[in-house]
C-alpha cells in the first residue's frame, strides 16, 4: 500500500483522535494541517522554511500545474518532490474545484469537463482519467478523485445529480489509477443535505479507498451546516481510514473539525491573509497594518514562540507593510503557518492526555473573545479564504 494509517488515541467525550500516517516520503502525525503550495510553492516561503516550522506534508494543485508548467515537464524534472525541492509528503487535489470555480466557461458532461483557462482563455478537457494521469505525472504521495463540487446554495435535485456524477467519476478514477506508490482518496459530496452526505459516505466507503476527502464544504454555507455534515459522515466513514476536510483552515474550524473526527486539513487562509497583513493570535486575528500597532513593540502573539514572534514586533512588521517591503508579507505568513502548526500540536497533546474537551473550550473562548469585546481585530476586513491561490 502507498500509505499506512493507524489511529493511536481517541477522545472519550468527542470524536477527536490522533493517528500516524506513513507515506512514501515519510511519516506524520494526525490531526494535521497541510499548507497549500498551489503552484508548487507555499507563497513567500522557501521549502526549508516550511520544513523548519515543522510541516511534513503540503498540498499542490492539479489544475494550476496542468496549465503551467504542465505535468510532462514536472515528470521530466523527476516529479514534484524534486521539482520544488520538498523532501516530505505531498497531496495533490484533483483540480475539480478549480475547474468549476476559476474556469471562464465550462461544460459538464458525463465524460468530463470542457473549460476555458482562466489564464489565457484556451480550451481544455479534463476527465476522471485525465485528472489521474496528470496527478500520476506530478507524483504526489496522495492524490484525489475528480469530483464535481456543487455550489452553495443549490437545490436538492442538483446536489443529488452532482453527487451521483461524483460517484461515477470516483469509480472511473479507481479504474484508471495505476501507480502503486500513490494513494487515491475518494471525495464525499452531497452539499448540505444530510441524507445525501450519508449516501455519499456509504457509497465511497464501499469502494474501499485508502482515505476520504470531505468536499463541498466551507463554500459559503452557515458554519453550523458544515459541522452538521461532518457529524453525519463521521459516523459512516471507516474508522481505520484517514478523513480529510478540504479547504478549511480557520483556527476555530480546525478545533471543531478535530472534535468531529477529521484527521487532515488544508487551506490558503494562513498564507493569503498573511500577505494582506492579518495574523492569528490566541485571542483572535489582528490586522497588523492598522495604525494602532505603529508603536506596539510586542510580538504578533505574546503567547507564540515562533521565529517571527521571538525576533520582530508588531510595529516593525507594520512598518514593512506600509513601506511595501516583501519581508512584511513573509513574516506574517511565517507566523500564521507556525500558529496553525502549534495549534495542531497542542490538540494532539490534549487528545493524548485526555484533556481535549477542556482544551477546546478554553481555546474557543479565548479566540472568540475579540468578537465579543471588539478588541483584537483591526479596522479593516481580511480577504475571504478560497480553495486555491
Catalytic sites, residue numbers: 93, 266
Contact present, 39 and 26 (Cβ < 8 Å): no
Contact call for residues 245 and 257 (beta carbons, < 8 A): yes
Strands 278-281 and 284-287, how do they pair? Answer: antiparallel
Retrieve residue 160's grid coordinates.
Answer: 443529488
Strands 243-245 and 89-93: unpaired
For residue 93, give the nearest of 37, 49, 159 by alpha carbon: 37
Question: In angstroms, how far apart are the furthest CA atoms of the chain?
Answer: 60
- What angle is formed at CA 301 by the lines to CA 299 and CA 306, rounded to 5 degrees? 80
Q: How far apart are CA 85 and CA 40, in angstroms?
A: 10
Do 264 and 56 meet the contact criterion of CB atoms below 8 Å apart? no
> How many CB atoms neighbour CB 320 within 10 A?
20
* Number of other residues whose CB lies within 10 A of the CB of residue 366: 15
Between CA 202 and CA 225 the distance in angstroms is: 20
Backbone CA torsion sign across 31, 338, 347, 87: positive
Instruction: Tell me the residue ranges of DSSP E strands in 79-188.
Output: 89-93, 106-108, 113-116, 123-126, 142-144, 183-188
CA pair distance 360, 92, nearest whole angstrom = 30
- In terms of Cα–Cα distance, which of 190, 264, 266, 267 is closest to 232? 190
Cis? peptide before 69, omega within 30° of 0: yes
Amino acid at each position: 500500500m502507498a500509505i499506512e494509517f493507524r489511529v493511536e488515541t481517541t477522545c472519550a467525550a468527542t470524536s477527536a483522535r490522533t493517528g500516524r500516517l506513513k507515506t512514501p516520503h515519510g511519516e506524520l502525525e494526525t490531526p494535521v494541517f497541510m499548507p497549500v503550495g498551489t503552484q508548487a510553492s507555499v507563497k513567500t516561503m522557501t521549502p526549508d522554511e516550511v520544513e523548519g516550522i515543522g510541516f511534513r506534508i503540503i498540498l499542490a494543485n492539479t489544475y494550476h500545474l496542468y496549465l503551467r508548467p504542465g505535468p510532462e515537464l514536472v515528470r521530466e524534472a523527476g516529479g514534484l518532490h524534486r521539482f520544488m525541492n520538498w523532501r516530505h509528503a505531498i497531496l495533490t487535489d484533483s483540480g475539480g474545484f478549480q475547474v468549476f470555480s476559476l474556469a471562464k466557461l465550462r461544460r459538464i458532461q458525463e465524460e468530463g469537463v470542457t473549460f476555458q483557462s482562466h489564464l489565457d482563455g484556451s480550451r481544455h478537457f479534463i476527465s476522471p482519467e485525465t485528472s489521474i494521469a496528470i496527478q500520476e505525472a506530478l507524483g504526489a504521495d496522495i492524490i484525489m478523485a475528480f469530483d464535481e463540487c456543487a455550489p452553495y446554495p443549490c437545490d436538492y435535485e442538483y446536489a443529488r445529480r452532482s453527487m451521483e456524477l461524483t460517484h461515477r467519476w470516483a469509480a472511473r478514477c479507481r479504474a484508471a489509477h495505476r501507480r502503486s506508490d500513490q494513494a487515491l482518496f475518494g471525495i464525499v459530496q452531497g452539499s448540505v443535505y444530510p441524507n445525501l452526505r450519508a449516501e455519499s459516505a456509504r457509497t465511497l466507503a464501499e469502494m474501499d479507498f485508502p482515505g476520504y476527502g470531505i468536499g463541498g464544504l466551507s463554500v459559503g454555507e452557515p458554519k453550523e451546516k458544515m459541522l452538521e455534515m461532518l457529524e453525519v459522515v463521521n459516523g459512516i466513514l471507516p474508522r481505520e481510514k484517514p478523513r480529510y476536510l478540504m479547504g478549511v483552515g480557520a483556527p476555530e474550524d480546525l478545533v471543531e473539525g478535530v472534535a468531529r473526527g477529521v484527521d487532515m486539513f488544508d487551506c490558503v487562509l494562513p498564507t493569503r491573509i498573511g500577505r494582506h497583513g492579518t495574523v492569528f493570535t490566541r485571542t483572535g486575528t489582528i490586522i497588523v497594518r492598522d495604525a494602532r500597532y505603529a508603536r506596539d513593540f510586542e510580538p504578533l502573539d505574546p503567547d507564540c514562540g515562533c521565529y517571527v514572534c521571538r525576533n520582530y514586533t508588531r510595529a516593525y512588521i507594520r512598518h514593512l507593510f506600509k513601506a511595501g517591503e516583501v519581508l512584511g508579507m513573509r513574516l506574517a505568513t511565517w507566523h500564521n503557518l507556525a500558529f496553525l502548526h502549534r495549534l495542531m500540536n497542542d490538540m494532539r497533546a490534549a487528545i493524548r492526555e485526555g484533556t481535549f474537551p477542556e482544551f477546546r473550550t478554553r481555546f474557543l473562548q479565548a479566540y472568540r473573545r475579540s468578537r465579543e469585546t471588539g478588541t483584537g481585530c483591526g479596522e479593516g476586513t481580511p480577504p475571504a479564504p478560497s480553495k486555491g491561490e
